[in-house]
Each structure stands twice: as C-alpha cells, then as structure tokens.
A and B are shown apart, each in its own frame.
Chain A
C-alpha cells in the first residue's frame, strides 16, 4: 500500500512538471501549432482534457519505469550508468509510441521529431548530471562521516 501511495505521489510530481511545461509551451507556440498537433487543439487558450489524460499516462509510465529500473534488485545486479541508459531508451520508446498513437504530431514531419529528441536528450542529460553531482558530493560526505564514526566507536 505504501509503495502505491509513493507511486501516486511521484506520478503527480512528474505530471505537475509536465503540465507546467505544456502550459508554457501552449502560451508560446499553442496558436501556431494547433493545426499540426493534437496536444494544442485549443491553441494558447487551454489544453484539451484528452491531452491532459495522455500526459497523465506518460507521467505514470515514466514513474513505473523509473521505479522498475531503480528497484533494489536492479541496483544490486547492475551499475548506475547501464540502468540510466536503459531508462533513457525505455522512456524514449514510450514517448515515440505516444506521439504516434495519439498523433501529437504527424510522423512524416521532421522538425517536431528533431525538436522532441533535442528537448528529451537535453532534459534527461541535465537532470542526470545534476543528480550525479549531488550524489558525488553526498557519497564523499557519507564516506567521511562513516570513517570518523568507525574510528570514534573503536
């Protein structure tokens, strides 16, 4: 039960972030993209309930994939970098599936694909590098704290 609440909590967090990005995007390019994308059918006025539901599904998929790839079992059997690569590929595959399934934009348009790929790679890389730097600092602090704790306890 606790894990389900944790999953809901994380899904809502991802969904909130996605909605914020789409709110900004719809204000910026909503009117010009409303004929080309099902996500912006109402232009800069609002986001459709169908789009909101699709973004919620995407958030749920991302959260489930993240939980699975970073499960205790996976942490034990696989180093961090291969897990990140797997997560990157799986989320990208889900994204492509949803673009095609819900016709977020036409499959034969090159520019939206390129922009989506750039945005995805950039956001994934930026968040990964940030987390890595934070964890590197934390690892250093924990190692120092453990060493001094062990010395003082002897």
Chain B
C-alpha cells in the first residue's frame, strides 16, 4: 500500500483521500480506525450505511458473528469484531462488561452490586446488563473503587 502525506500550512482542515480498486474488509478497517479518531463509526441499518457518533452508542453486543450498536435511534450492525472495537474504543470510555458486550460508561444510569460479585448495570435507555464477576472487577478498577 502506497502512503502519501502532504503537509500544507494553508490547509483549513485535515482531509484523508483514499484511492482503492474496491472497498475490501481491510480498507473498511482502515477507514474505521480513522473514523474512530473523530468519534464516529460506520454501521449498517438495513441496506444503508451511516456514520454513528460514539456519543450516541449505549452498548455494543456481539451476537452470532455479527456486532450490533444500540443507540436511541435504533440498532445498527457492523462488520467489525468485538475485540477490535474493545481495543479501539477503550480510549473513549467503552468497557467490556460481558463476554459479548461492551458498554459506554457515559451512558450508564445506575450500578448495583449483586450476589457473587456481579454488577447490575442499568443503561440510560433502561436496558440492563449483568456484568459477570471477572468483568465486574475490571469495571470496579476502572471506576477506582477496587
């Protein structure tokens, strides 16, 4: 892959032009990495692809090899794997709370300690996630209560 960087002091906005024969999964991943810097992520809803603002996402769930973003405007599907998202979104306060779920700390409404060191997480949209023991401990660490 050829990379060309043009540094121009007169440029008003940083822009990225990507030239390729077709949109392969590799190119999509590259684009996704750049979009995340702008707190955006590409996701599908039906046949249309749209850019989601990360601030809108409540949680991300992986179900049967597909990844879904849950927002106030509905559910969006992504090609990306949950572990890739976990790494890329850690800087934006997303944390793994279950084997198949990452949630936004910004969108948590309430936390409640449960039996067997689990944590019941209530999201702003009312959805409840039970963080298993291992991930609950990670959440405690992230919040500085452990």
Q: Determine if B93 is an interface residue (Cβ-Cβ < 8 Å).
A: yes
Judge whether A70 and B116 touch: CB under 8 Å.
yes
* B:94-120 near A, CB below 8 Å: 105-106, 108, 110-116, 118-120
A150 touches B114 (CB 8 A): no
A53 to B111, CA, bound (A): 40
Whether B143 sits at the interface, judged by CB under 8 Å, is yes
A142 in complex: contacting residue of B106, B118, B130, B143, CB < 8 Å: B143
Give the total number of A-B pairs whose CB atoms are below 8 A apart: 55
B3 in the interface, Cβ–Cβ < 8 Å?
Answer: no
Which chain B residues lie closer than 8 Å to A142 at the CB level?
A: 111, 113, 119, 140, 143, 145
By beta carbon, the residue of chain B nearest A77 is B128
A72 at the interface (CB under 8 A from B): yes
Interface residues on chain B, number (Cβ under 8 Å): 21
Grouping DSSP codes into helix (H, G, I), strand (E, B) and loop, the B interface class, with mixed when no group exceeds half, is: mixed
Q: Which of B106, B112, B118, B132 lies in contact with A139, CB distance below 8 A?
A: B112
Smallest Cβ distance from A134 to chain B, in angstroms?
Answer: 8
Nearest CB of B to A64, in Å: 13
Closest to B132 in A: A72
Q: How far is the CA of A83 from the CA of B23 in the complex (A)?
A: 52
B90 to chain A minimum Cβ distance, whole angstroms, is: 13
A80: chain B residues within 8 A (beta carbon)? 114-115
How many residues of chain A get a CB closer than 8 Å to chain B's CBs? Answer: 21
Q: Give min CB distance, A146 to chain B, whole Å.
A: 6
Answer whether residue A75 sits at the interface, using C-beta atoms and an 8 A cutoff: yes
Report B-chain residues with C-beta under 8 Å of the C-beta of A154.
106
Of the candidates B93, B112, B114, B128, which one forms a contact with A70 in the assembled complex, judged by CB atoms under 8 Å apart?
A: B114
Complex interface: chain B residues within 8 A of A146 (CB): 105, 108, 111, 143
Q: Which residues of B contact A (CB under 8 A)?
A: 93, 105-106, 108, 110-116, 118-120, 128, 130, 132, 140, 143-145
Q: Which residues of chain A have a CB within 8 Å of any CB of chain B?
A: 66-67, 70, 72, 75-76, 80, 83, 131, 135, 138-139, 141-143, 145-146, 149-150, 153-154
Extra inter-chain contacts (14) besides given A67-B116, A150-B108, CB under 8 Å: A70-B114, A70-B116, A75-B114, A75-B130, A76-B128, A139-B111, A139-B112, A142-B119, A142-B143, A149-B93, A149-B105, A153-B93, A153-B105, A153-B106
